Structure 1
């Protein structure tokens, strides 16, 4: 008897310009099954899914070897449109939304509902008009299936990244012929509570017979939701079996090919205290769509790593964006004892207040520039670093730019062919490391970093967190880290501030109980707790 799979990918191999990135990969998914696909950044996960979805980057670079079967029939998927015709949906790691369109327009794009009017009745279907009430209703249904309250008429531009992620997923759920759904890092920008909502949505879809490929660096989630797990390393399958036979540590070790140790925090040279405040924030309001800050106050201790957590839409991302001038803000802020000017990104930068955005592709990177220029660009623009005088001109000091880039590539283990490689061609995790390299090039006094390990695998995540701790301890940089992953905050932060409904709900020790964090995120803490 032939096993009936919704999808089989057999002996898939792929090379880019002589570099083999996939080597005889086999993966199969049954209807109603969740198949976890894990591996380090650069292991080949996204390339494999791009092959399945017929992305142009595959066919413009010579195609691939191997075969794809859907319901035991060979198929030729040479475009995303063909993939969608076969019932394949994909939520990409980087958003595929049109910023100027509404939530409804993005969800219903290319599947708009139309209705007759007087002209169409005479001249035919091309003159039918959009049925906006029907489109809104279906968009609303798709959003409700995920358990989110996102206004369907809101314009996507300016919405927080977590909301954009849910809109991407709602768009796929709205498709009537969906049979196979690929989720590439769907929970990377979600808090634990929001991720649980998504996992419930996955269970709902599998009950309807949808086959799901679930790609995530949150290994506990992969174990929780998957029926089977395939592990890729260096473009090849190193293991594939039922998820019940794996442990998180075993998956992590097979992914990276070595044993992983927990982060051991070195002591502070000088323990941060309330007697030495580097930044004092009072009654901060930030007008960031979807992440409004309504009244946030806190004192940031010099030399500490302060975590900021909370649910999406409650304002945790708005704090950093407001302080560095990315979105309009008002309130009273003092930096190193002096009044601090809001709404002026240049002022922030020149005073040593540096920011790494959660939206690396939208505002964090020059995608069509090289790795080395991305690392050096802001330092050149703001401080004239990496330049030299030549006659009456100031020119780039290419040698210094290259030397510094090589140093940062080594420190952060940025996986690239060379410092001259275009950033757009790096994996998402390596793009994030380039953002961090640029931030530390600016020698910040205080670094605001949002979702620093978004889309980064378990091995690289440890490296990035270790590096943040090292820069804090060895160079005295005060770090304010916003993250959707509470476990990440608890692993390196001295204190964790929880934002709920745009206000500070509590300041907790990383050793505080799960119950305390849960109450704080729900906004039900009666008083702000100062631990340590």
Structure 2
């Protein structure tokens, strides 16, 4: 049956226990089209995709209203397996990789290619062996499509998150029957150069006839790559637009229902010359983000930005100082040497850390929001406890009051403070990570990729919060981010890391050219010479 649309979702509605999360939503995607789906966290994007993939969370809670058509035929997808059989693939925001498997093994998982051997020819097909040569060839082809230069036979364990994202995508495009690919925030973990490579690869995939449903919070990407864009807000489709007929400003306003303006509020701030953190010849052995001898001085009360391309060491700096990866060198905190490779001691000294890896480092997924918020402060500083002499009990009243305050401040979309963190959207999980760090009332706050996977409205909220902590409490904030524009919007100074070393320190007002040249590895002194 011929049909103009590959996918049609008509009048989709869904509620959870009386809470309407989708109402009469429509979505139409043509073959070979790149269709962007945008909206704030909690707008209903994840629920819509759960319906498309037949996830248990939908069917175990009463199903949904509306109709789904694929290639012109009405379908009732009951499981992700059925979705894959139809030709629907998905690249998840959170990784689904097995660390101890090679890249090839992850790409070909459950689709292994087998070959005959002497035993199988005699005793039957069940004794065939894996044809690694052919599997490696297929994996290489998928990786080359994405223009990622990494050997297919190495293990996933220890790779940077950017590489892991490409492997997730390579696994989907390797499948033979794929007709529709859903990309859920695929560029959220990628540096700018990697994101450009991915967008180029997505265009190649679409040109081959495969439709792409692209969920992203990076609105500039929407304008650069999309054919059409659908905007959701509070479970309702606000509108569908041709990407060429709109712009970033309009999309942002449609998403959040108000104008969003992130701008530098620090321009006139007087920074103390007192050095709070003096880093000397720091080395960090973090796979994919190694630091190779950095000297850096952080002033008390400033917001210090750290930028650079993926794999160049920018992520390794905070992870090394916080003791999450082996490090050596000298770090002076208020003139006193910090014990490296001792996370507990560093936390006790007055540091806090929001990791770029919220799933494995930042959160306890099977526990409540409120426990996640107070966990570190409870164990390191013994806060939120009632002292009964020989015994200490959790002060649940205080925990509840505190968590509700943070939920309101950070606009965490949840059912209650006791909801398990693992059931939150990625953006809301990130907010819990930030709340957890703030509970420790640190003097120095390291934040790595604080707005990763968060919509534009929530980004403003998080960045404004960092500014408030800095201005009102005098907190020193060291922010590492792949979103250079965001770093420049709030930082006082920005260090660019290249090849594990400090390439230079710039002001937020410095030219895009300076930032770009430093990130490409050209030394600051050479840039200054050319400008002179």
TM-score by length of 2: 0.96
Q: Which residue number corresponds to residue 204 of structure 1? A: 204
Equivalent in the alignment of 1:493: 491
Please say if 1:110 is aligned against 2:107: no
Q: Assess if the C-alpha contact under 8 Å between 1:507 and 1:528 holds in 2.
A: no
Task: Please state if 1:289 is matched with 2:287.
Answer: yes
Asked if the contact 2:266–2:491 (Cα under 8 Å) also holds between the matched residues in 1, the reply is no
Cα shift at 1:3: 4.8
Q: Does the residue aligned with 2:196 lie in a helix, a strand or coil?
A: helix
Residues 272 and 32 of structure 1, relative CA distance in 2, 3 Å threshold: farther
Contact 2:364 2:421 in 1 (8 A): yes
Cα shift at 1:266: 4.9
Residue by residue, what CA displacement relative to the aligned partner does 1:417-463 show, whole Å, maximum 9, x if unpaired?
Answer: 22111111111111111110110110111111111001111111000
Q: What runs of 5+ residues in structure 2 fail to find an aligned partner?
A: none
* CA distance in structure 2 between the aligned counterparts of 1:529 and 1:296, rounded to whole angstroms: 20
* Alignment-derived partner of residue 505 in structure 1: 503
Tell me, yes or no, if the aligned pair for 1:120 and 1:127 is still in contact at 8 Å. Answer: yes
RMSD: 1.7
Q: Deviations over 1:473-531 (max 9, x none)?
A: 1111111111111111111111111111111111111112222111111111253989x
Give yes or no for contact 1:506–1:528 (8 Å, CA) kept in 2.
Answer: no
The residue number in structure 1 matching 2:151 is: 151
Match of 1:394 in 2: 392
Q: CA deviation at 1:80?
A: 1.3
Deviations 1:145-198 (A, max 9, x none): 111122323322222211111111111111121110000111111111111111
Query: What pairs up with 1:276-355 in 2 under 5 angstroms?
Result: 276-355=274-353
8 A Cα contact 2:31 2:211, kept in partner: yes
- Matches of 2:158 and 2:526 in 1, distance apart? 30
Contact 2:267 2:492 in 1 (8 A): no
TM-score after normalising by structure 1 = 0.96
Deviation at 1:466, TM superposition (A): 0.3
Identify which range, 98-107 or 229-238, moves more after superposition. 98-107
Question: C-alpha distance in 2, partners of 1:525/1:47?
Answer: 47
* Counterparts of 1:323 and 1:137, CA distance in 2: 40
Q: Secondary structure at the match of 1:527?
A: helix
Counterpart of 1:466 in structure 2 is 464
**Structure 1 pair 511–526 and aligned structure 2 pair: CA distance change class (3 A):** closer
Corresponding residue of 2:181: 181
C-alpha distance in structure 2 between counterparts of 1:529 and 1:384, whole Å: 50
Q: 4+ residue runs of structure 1 moved beyond 4 angstroms?
A: 266-270
SS in 2 for 1:313: coil
Q: Residues 243-285 of structure 1, C-alpha deviation per residue, up to 9 Å, x if partnerless? A: 1121211111111112223335156764233xx1111112211
Q: Counterpart of 1:437?
A: 435
CA displacement at 1:413 relative to structure 2: 1.4
**For residues 272 and 191 of structure 2, what CA distance do their matches in structure 1 show?**
28
Q: Secondary structure at the match of 1:24?
A: strand
Q: Which segment drifts farther, 521-530 or 101-110? A: 521-530
Which residue number corresponds to residue 243 of structure 1? 243
* 1:358 counterpart = 2:356: yes
CA–CA separation in structure 2 for the residues paired with 1:75 and 1:139? 31
Q: Larger deviation: 463-472 or 92-101? A: 92-101
State the secondary structure of the residue aligned to 1:342: coil
The answer to whether the Cα contact below 8 Å between 2:271 and 2:299 also exists between their aligned partners in 1 is: no
Provide, for residues 85-117 of structure 1, a one-character-per-residue CA deviation record: whole Å limited to 9, x for no partner.
111110111111122222111111111111111
Offset at residue 77 of structure 1 (A)? 1.5
- The answer for unaligned runs of 5 or more in structure 1 is none
